[in-house]
Amino acid sequence: MTCKGCSATVRHSKEEVQALVEGQLMFEVNVVSDQVYSERLAICASCPHLQYETTCGFCGCFVAFRAKLSNKRCPDPKGARWDK
């Protein structure tokens, strides 16, 4: 997946993000269940640090990608929101 910092813009539509995420997830084996994924995305959607409706303001990841990986945690420095 291309780093957002290397692209012409950091803003991507939800459709563009979904296509990028789906392509990258084909290479991942350690993923969470669809239920956990949905719960994580809902938490991210309500986070005041979500940028452009797609990007984590703390780490710069597409939340749709980070939320699917089982080895990732919410990067909020005040405490991971997914663990609450």
Alpha carbon 25 to its chain centroid, in Å, reads 12
Residue 42 in domain: yes
Query: E strands of 1-84, at which residues?
Result: 50-51, 55-56
Residue 4 in domain: no
The pLDDT, as a whole number, for residue 26 is 79
| Structural domain count of the chain | 1
How much of the chain, in percent, has pLDDT values that exceed 90?
A: 49
Mean pLDDT (whole number) for 9-27? 78
Residue 14 in domain: no
**What is the band of 3 on the pLDDT scale with cuts at 50, 70, 90?**
low
Residue 21 in domain: no
Residue 14 has pLDDT above 90, yes or no: no
Contacts of 81 (CB under 8 A, 6+ apart): 43, 44, 47, 74
